[in-house]
Structure 1
């Protein structure tokens, strides 16, 4: 699989760019933003005047006055944060989270009542069937979220063994 990533790096990076583009208006409209994991968020950070906290196991510092970095493994819990957030971004980290229900419970505690959570999941070689979409909706409803939008962003690489895709989900608190 690593070979496929290297072979289609351009297409995969364009998926990340498209995901960032779809999320950019949320950054602009949000006053307090929490980013969980960091690799793909730099372009949107430069577009926001909001206060941003980034939690990552290996945060990469950038020189923006409105951004604070916290080194933390999210599998060991969330650090103490006094702020509530309008926007929480969790792109490309779900495969590393061991206790997903606890993770989402922590997010709900950090969101304002009208807060938005966005998730980007690698979805290579998968199909979003109605049954799978129902499972996602059911899971999120049970833990206190309503799906606003769920879509697959994909690239055609003319390779029947590899279909680069990202599942983009936007949620709000119920």
Structure 2
């Protein structure tokens, strides 16, 4: 009698676990609607409509949060809009889905350089080199950006107001 209740509990546990695992989709099956929105977002970006591209890409991520490519394209759009901090965050979201995504590591490294975080960009470069096992285009591009350094920003100087002569 004591063993029966334990056996029933174990059987119910196994049934509930197997049912929940059976209902989940594999990570490599991205929702078709999300992929369609991603393509529309890429087209809007190519047309120069960065605001519309951002809206479409955000919708793609809402439809399927596992759409890593949508995060990467959104980060590229953020960089084009001059928002490297937002781009870094979006690349991080893509890297949470796939830590070994060389394109996301390269993009994040370039955004880090734009923010002045050269040490962290070098860490990304080292990781890209390990993943590529030798030379690859992403490693070369990131190394060139790091060598160039962050963009030089100068403070805008407002000319003094012309003195008015009171006579």
Q: Return the TM-score normalized by structure 2.
A: 0.32
The structure richer in helix per residue is 2
The structure richer in strand per residue is 1
Larger radius of gyration: 2
Task: Specify which structure has the bigger relative contact order, considering alpha-carbon pairs within 8 angstroms and separated by 6 or more residues.
Answer: 1
Q: Return the TM-score normalized by structure 1.
A: 0.31
